[in-house]
Amino acid sequence: MVPDLLTVEKAAQVMALSESYIYKLVRTKQLPAIKIGTSVRLRPSDLEAFIASKLTVMGPDEVPVQVWGPQPKKTPGSVDKKLKL
């Protein structure tokens, strides 16, 4: 039986990543791929294994917080406030 193969475009959509990042993962051999001529295809099972290899357990204080937009300028005497969840 021939497995269902995903294009890089579809794999990027499934993983919510850019196509260029998928190509980088393939190029650096972090994500197995099948090359047929100039086409690159990925097995869904390889995507699942890649995701499983990246799972980590984080405590509530280790959740990454990203602040968008311009950051306020620090003035002399200002205090940095850390976000706590």
Domain span at 44: 6-54
How many whole angstroms separate alpha carbon 51 and alpha carbon 47? 6
CA dihedral 50, 15, 18, 65 (to 10 degrees): -90
- How many domains does the chain contain in total? 1
* 1 domain residue, yes or no: no
pTM of structure: 0.64
What integer is the mean pLDDT of 7-17?
A: 95
Does 31 fall in a domain? yes
pLDDT digits (tens, 9 = 90+) for 42-60: 999 999 999 988 887 766 6
Look at residue 67 and tell me if it is in a domain. no
82 is a domain residue: no
Residue 34 lies in a domain: yes
Q: What is the pLDDT of residue 63?
A: 63
- Strands 39-42 and 34-36, by their bridges, are antiparallel
Residue 17 lies in a domain: yes
pLDDT, position 29: 95
Please check whether residue 68 lies inside any domain of the structure: no
Q: Is 73 within a domain?
A: no
